[in-house]
Structure 1
């Protein structure tokens, strides 16, 4: 064997021996603070109203949002007359605490949320006054087309607009929230094929038309203050639903709630909105934990996230015939029985009335 070849093999054997003696390097990541987060709103409408308690583990800018429900807490709402409302934990959705269905807040009353965790720690909100909300005079919609960078085809969706008459001689702050939506789901069971590896055609006799219920995700926070329209009639954006190629093929229905919130709640939501609308470039400031109106009675320096709100509420429902939209996404094909789609039924909701 040539000397050079022998040396190469000898060096390789030494490297392998050294590598086998090196202990593996274990990367440990320090666990972040477990921050208590409170989400919830009570209104002057009949309940149940939901207060959600979670803890979020944060790991710097890399890992965000290991969300854990906080179960086993005692949760009450107290008004400024001393009346106490006890909330009951939802056994199917732990960490969610519900007021009685018969409870509704009163306009002019102030409400405080109080929480005692299973470990004995106690938290309270600052008082929130429940203010009256003007009615929605009209709920309408328009198509919004959204250019996508680097793509030929645009995204699109439906923007919802409310007309209202703002009360004069007072500062008003508004918040809009989408409720559950229902749409007619059309599928193609006649195109069904067997699972791989066969993929042989196996058309199904049923069913082509279902009613799908869903809670569409929020792409933005819709809020307003009346600095520019105090005492006037105005039209404001109140929600947006993305067209996914299924929702607007036939008939779509959604409820929009309009809330009259406090100035403090408006400021909180505005900060959350500003943070959520950051472009996400490397030059953006890091996400901040926005403190709300909750404090710890055991440790006032503890950071508690979220905001407890009390608000007047009105709700409007709207039906949209997809054929009336001036632009829609290409229709998506689901080659199966529509009943296999989650939260779908061949029976319409009891109050379906397009």
Structure 2
């Protein structure tokens, strides 16, 4: 028995396992186009990237498409060339005064550095009604395992829908500014040779600043007028999350209301359905949602994204902290508010709560 045990001891070190190499095929690089052109004069942008079919959770698989030729044409033959932003490669911009015109149709054309040519289908710009009123309502969402729910304000629009025509709406949050309150009197530097015990070193300034931000929509807000054609209606058109800083004092945001085509509405509705999948067994399988762009030489190539051309109206609202029925605990920034990204000491020239 002892002899067998000794043999096993000698055999174990020489045993080996052949490594198993896993070979994963590289996903197809898909062209993705993000572009929303409106009648609001300003720099309109086209964002071009290539993303892998495995998804953006894999680092490095989304790459900007550089040095492309990007052109917008209307139905009257007018041509506008977009220039690539050298500081944000893959983003192409128009002149500062470009604006769409209701009644006109626009087509986006792209030629990549490899010589591939893509074109959108024409998008006709429909007129957009004004926002009669913009109000807010507080909303909360329970979070499993957390005492405090997520919360924020929903932006609610009142619109008078035009009668006798089909209208499709798309809302986006515009630029925002809010009063930022910090606590420089609580400033404590990191440990150093001169301050090993991390004793507080209060700063005399500044407690209050005005912070600019551009927050992305936390969802897709769209509507069609099938149920309110020609009527006045209220619609939830946006959301701003309470992060413990935004609604401590006063918050200002511009809401953009954009008219879109029926095809653009269908595309955004499908994207909305995919992004709101709950993860249950009853959810439809995720799929690549094709937009309105095609490769002129290879129509079977999948191109992601959509070129939207519409008319736009903007409504501004100031939200006071007392307008909320629920607020998150105040977040503490123990430093000079001027050191916070996007903050400045002076109020904007057009600040008028």
Q: Which residue of 2 aligns with 1:188?
A: 183
Q: Cα offset for 1:68? A: 1.0
Q: Would the alpha carbon gap of residues 318 and 13 (structure 1) be closer, same or farther in structure 2, given more than 3 Å must change? A: farther
- In the TM superposition, 1:63-142 aligns within 5 A as 63=58, 66-142=61-137
In the TM superposition, what is the alpha-carbon distance from 1:180 to its structure 2 partner? 1.8
CA separation of 1:178/1:65 partners in 2, compared to 1, >3 Å: closer, same or farther?
A: farther
Instruction: Tell me the secondary structure at the aligned position of residue 271 of structure 1.
Output: helix
Closer, same or farther: CA 209–7 of 1 in aligned 2, 3 Å: farther
Q: How does 1:26-65 map to 2 (within 5 A)?
A: 26-59=21-54, 63=58
The residue number in structure 1 matching 2:13 is: 16
Note the alpha carbon deviations across 1:70-126, whole angstroms, 9 max, x for none: 110000001111111111111111111111112211110111000000010000000
**Shift in alpha-carbon separation, 1:144–1:9, aligned structure 2, 3 A:** farther
Aligned partner of 1:314 in structure 2 is: 313
Greater Cα shift, 213-222 or 167-176: 213-222
Measure, in 2, the Cα distance between the counterparts of 1:24 and 1:343. 51
Shift of 1:175: 0.5
Instruction: State how far apart, in whole Å, the 1-side matches of 2:39 and 2:56 are.
Output: 39
Could you tell me whether the CA contact under 8 Å between 2:158 and 2:232 is conserved in 1?
A: yes
CA 1:12/1:219 → structure 2, altered by over 3 Å: closer, same or farther? farther
94-103 vs 268-277, which moves further:
94-103
Does 1:175 pair with 2:170?
A: yes
Give the secondary-structure state (helix, strand or coil) at the position aligned to 2:147: coil
Q: Are residues 148 and 101 of structure 1, via their aligned partners in 2, closer, same or farther at CA, if it must alter by over 3 Å?
A: same
Counterpart-to-counterpart distance in 2, 1:280 and 1:211: 40
> Does the CA-based 8 Å contact 2:56-2:62 persist in structure 1?
no
Following TM superposition, by how much is the alpha carbon of 1:8 offset from its aligned partner in structure 2, in angstroms? 5.1
Write the mapping of 1:155-166 to structure 2, written as runs, cut at 5 A: 155-166=150-161
Distance 2:213 2:14 in 1: 60
- Following TM superposition, by how much is the alpha carbon of 1:317 offset from its aligned partner in structure 2, in angstroms? 0.9
- Contact kept, 8 Å, 2:182 with 2:336, in 1: the verdict is yes
Query: Does the CA contact (< 8 Å) of 2:212 and 2:342 recur in 1?
Result: yes
* Unpaired stretches in structure 1, ≥5 consecutive residues: none
Deviations 1:104-158 (A, max 9, x none): 1111011100000001000000000011000011111111121223333221100
Distance 1:170 1:65, change over 3 A: farther
- The alpha-carbon deviation at position 334 of structure 1 amounts to 1.2
After superposition, the C-alpha distances for 1:233-276 in whole angstroms (9 at most, x for unaligned) are 11111100110111000111111000110000000000000000
Q: What do you get for the CA RMSD once the two structures are aligned?
A: 2.0
Q: 2:113 aligns to what SS in structure 1?
A: coil
Structure 1, residues 7-40: CA drift from partner, whole Å, max 9, x if none?
A: 6565345333323xx4543333221111101111
Distance 1:345 1:15, change over 3 A: farther
- Distance verdict in 2 for CA 1:9–1:242, change over 3 Å: farther
The whole-number CA distance in structure 2 between the counterparts of 1:32 and 1:199 is 51
C-alpha displacement of 1:195: 1.5
In 2, Cα distance between equivalents of 1:35 and 1:74: 18
Q: TM-score, normalised by structure 2?
A: 0.93
The alignment partner of 1:52 has SS state of strand
> In the alignment, what sits opposite 1:326?
325
Structure 2 unaligned regions, length at least 5: none
Seen in structure 2, the aligned counterparts of structure 1 residues 64 and 202 have a Cα distance that, compared at 3 Å, is closer
Counterpart for residue 227 of structure 1? 226
| Distance change (3 Å), C-alpha of 1:109 and 1:195 | same
Q: 1:112 to 1:65 in 2, by over 3 A?
A: farther
Cα distance in 2 for partners of 1:89, 1:173 equals 31
